[in-house]
Amino acid sequence: MNLDPVSLEVIRNALTAIAEEMSMVVMRAARSPLLREAGDHSSALTDATGHLVAQGQDVPVHLGVMSFTVREFLKRIPAESLQPGDVWIVNLPEVGGNHLPDVKLIRPIFADGMLYAFSVSLAHWADVGGAMPGSYFAGARDAWQEGLRIPPTRLVVANQMDVEKLGLILANVRGPEERRGDILAQIAATTVAARRLNDLTVKHGVAWMRLAFDAIHDRAERQMREAIRAIPNGVYTGEDWMDDDGHGGAPVPIRVTITIENETATFDFSNSADAVPGPINTTPFIAGAAAFYAMKALYGPDIQPSGGCYRPLTVVTRPGSIADAGNTRPVVGGNHETCQRFADAIFHALVPIAAEKLSAGGPTTAGLLIFGTRTPNGDWSTFYEVHSGGEGARIDRDGVAATRVHLANVMNTPAEVIEAEYPITVEFQRLREGSGGAGKHTGGEGVARGYRMRADDVSLTTMFERAVVPPYGLEGGAPGALFRATLKRATGTEEALRGKQNIQIGKMDLVVVESCGGGGYGRAPTGA
């Protein structure tokens, strides 16, 4: 039996409203600055088998993760062992995850003693332990240096917090009070979802809800098939490059082979580089997120993120490669750096058939700086900042300056907030003139921002890309300017910072970030 088009839209609205409410709870109540100022979190509902049925306002990269988290969780924790009133916590990348700071709280939801859904809250914690404040260790060579690894763990049992497990977690992260706030907010979000979902289930019955979940999957599958049908059959290959893995290596290739066959698409990343020693490895789930993002952005902006939309998509990764690096490799930067390069590679592959739909290369890097500063009582206070850059130009317009693109959309932090909360003065924030690539249409400009330290003993971490391999031009357009970060010591010396680096800096030192410009589109008019 099928759900009629009206009931389908009505229930979809109701489920999305629940996921949105979860996100609102997390954003308003959580404590990590990333969650509050920047919105680096996602909420989802899944069916009993872990397939996504609704998602709140989101960060696209989390889509891939949320689509797999509960499914992978269920491979390790049998459904029979789940109980009402329990909430599980997990951050292992291999359990449908991405990197350790993205911590998921999962609540199984029951009706009449039967499991029929899960609510999931994912949030990027400002710190999850490990070698460096902020849990980005550029020099990492294994997974354990990156922080506390939490396998699926029952943190709330019969609606009671297991304070011993909570204590174990908090003892291993910086800023335990803040982290406790994050956990409570995430649990509150899953609780609210369970309550709202039960209201719906009381009204409609579990059997009907299951039917509705299936109808949502079927619809998403139809949408994805329609999107794929718009692409000519064929095999398309694309390649882009990561700058380096932080251990002094050469640029690292990311390659994709896309096979379109009627209503199915395969994204095969097997020809990408082998896993690297440094922290830009990643999981197959991130490759899935990139493939999904590219399909949605190019061919079906209305596709609903749901389990069904993955049915016609096959994502292949080679175990032992950078996209499927296994459990022992460091991965923290893969989440937002390698992830964006997967999307870039897909765009390159589609140039022959879709150049008019594509943007030239943009700031496909978080441009991340983490300043670990000490509070007066000696605790760490970590300031995590992303930097927007110049959007790539398009067939019909110039790129826009200072924006986030593709799988990322985290906001910047106002200078007035930074200066009030951390011992840092923002000396300037301006557009980086001339950084956009030339072309018939010019790439957008990056930004330049200067951070002056007002205290000693600051631990600085960088995690950026496009400092070696620039954002590409399209159809003859020139590439955008490279990403650049410079440390000007109070002593007068000046050094270029690498894209993956941990370094101690001190009072009056100035860190200047110049984010990359966007690539140009089309050949620039000559001889003006």
Partner 1 sequence: MTDWRLGIDIGGTFTDVIAVSTAGAMRRSAKVPSQPQQPVRAIVDAIAAVDLTWDRVAEIVHGTTIVTNDIVEHRYRPCALIATAGFSDTIEIGRGSRRHLYRMDLLPRPPALVPRHLRFEVAERVAHDGSVMTELTDAEIARVVDAVAASGADTVAVCLLHSFRNAEHEARLGAALRTRIANVSLSHEVSPEFREFERMNTTVLNAMMMAKIKNHLGLIDAEKPDDSRLHLMHSASGMAAPALIAERPLMLAMSGPAAGVAAGCKTARDMGTRHAVTFDMGGTTTDICLIVDQKAEIAVNRDLGGQRIRMPMVAVDSIGAGGGSIARLVSGALVVGPESAGARPGPACYGTGGTEATVSDADMILGYLNPERTLGGSVTLSMELAEAAIRSLAESMGFTIPNAAAGIARVVHANMARALRRASIERGVDIRQFEMIAFGGAGPMHAVEVARLCGIARITVPAFSSGFSALGCVDATMSYSRQFSVGMKSTAWRDEYLARLVAAQTDALTAALVEAGHAANSLLVDCVAGIRYSGQSYETSIADPVLADRDALGAQFDAAHTALYGYSTGEAWELASLRIEVSAPKGETESATPDAIESSIAPIAQRHVTFESGAGAMVDVLDRARLPVGHVFSGPLIVEDSWSTTVLPPQDRLRADASGNLHIEVTL
45-74 positions binding partner 1, by CB under 8 A? 58, 60
As measured in angstroms, the least distance from the Cβ of 96 to partner 1 is: 21
- Name the E strands within 243-310: 252-261, 264-268
Residue with token string 């030192």: 509
As measured in angstroms, the least distance from the Cβ of 389 to partner 1 is: 9
**Which amino acid, residue 40?**
D
As measured in angstroms, the least distance from the Cβ of 316 to partner 1 is: 24
**Tokens representing residue 467 in the block:** 């400092």
- Judged by CB under 8 A, does residue 343 bind partner 1? no
- Judged by CB under 8 A, does residue 509 bind partner 1? no
For the chain, what's the residue count? Answer: 528
Q: Which of 191, 272, 335, 340 binds partner 1 (CB under 8 A)?
A: 191
Residue 376 in contact with residue 448, Cβ under 8 Å? no
- Judged by CB under 8 A, does residue 21 bind partner 1? yes
Binding to partner 1 (CB under 8 A) within 277-296 occurs at: 293, 296
Query: How far is Cα 477 from Cα 459, in angstroms, rounded to an integer?
Result: 39
As measured in angstroms, the least distance from the Cβ of 488 to partner 1 is: 15
Instruction: Choose the stretch contacting partner 1; rule: CB under 8 A; options: 4-12, 87-95, 331-339, 463-471.
Output: 4-12
Of 16 and 264, CB closest to partner 1:
16
Query: How far is Cα 324 from Cα 146, in angstroms, rounded to an integer?
Result: 17
Residue 33 in contact with residue 412, Cβ under 8 Å? no
- Judged by CB under 8 A, does residue 301 bind partner 1? yes
- Judged by CB under 8 A, does residue 311 bind partner 1? no
Query: How far is Cα 80 from Cα 521, in angstroms, rounded to an integer?
Result: 55
Of 410 and 458, CB closest to partner 1:
410
As measured in angstroms, the least distance from the Cβ of 169 to partner 1 is: 16
Query: How far is Cα 5 from Cα 222, in angstroms, rounded to an integer?
Result: 13
Q: Give how many residues touch partner 1 by CB under 8 A.
A: 78
Q: Exposed (0-12), middle (13-18) or buried (19+): which is 297, by Cβ within 10 Å?
A: buried
| Residues contacting 53, CB < 8 A, separation 6+ | 15, 45, 46, 47, 117, 213, 216, 217, 306, 307
Residue with token string 């990348």: 93
**Tokens representing residue 93 in the block:** 């990348």
Binding to partner 1 (CB under 8 A) within 131-190 occurs at: 177-178, 180-181, 184-185, 188
Binding to partner 1 (CB under 8 A) within 389-448 occurs at: 391, 394, 397, 400-405, 409-412, 414-417, 419-420, 425, 427-431, 447
- Judged by CB under 8 A, does residue 30 bind partner 1? yes
Distances (CA, A) of 368 to 235, 346, 364: 35, 24, 12
Instruction: Choose the stretch contacting partner 1; rule: CB under 8 A; options: 129-137, 144-152, 216-224, 455-463.
Output: 216-224
Query: How far is Cα 47 from Cα 51, in angstroms, rounded to an integer?
Result: 5
Strands 87-90 and 368-374: unpaired
Of 164 and 302, CB closest to partner 1:
302
Of 48 and 189, CB closest to partner 1:
189
As measured in angstroms, the least distance from the Cβ of 297 to partner 1 is: 5
Strands 264-268 and 313-316: parallel
The 80-109 site mask, x for binding partner 1 (CB under 8 A), equals ------------------------------
Of 138 and 216, CB closest to partner 1:
216
Binding to partner 1 (CB under 8 A) within 450-489 occurs at: 450
As measured in angstroms, the least distance from the Cβ of 215 to partner 1 is: 8
Distances (CA, A) of 526 to 360, 438, 523: 20, 11, 8
- Judged by CB under 8 A, does residue 379 bind partner 1? no
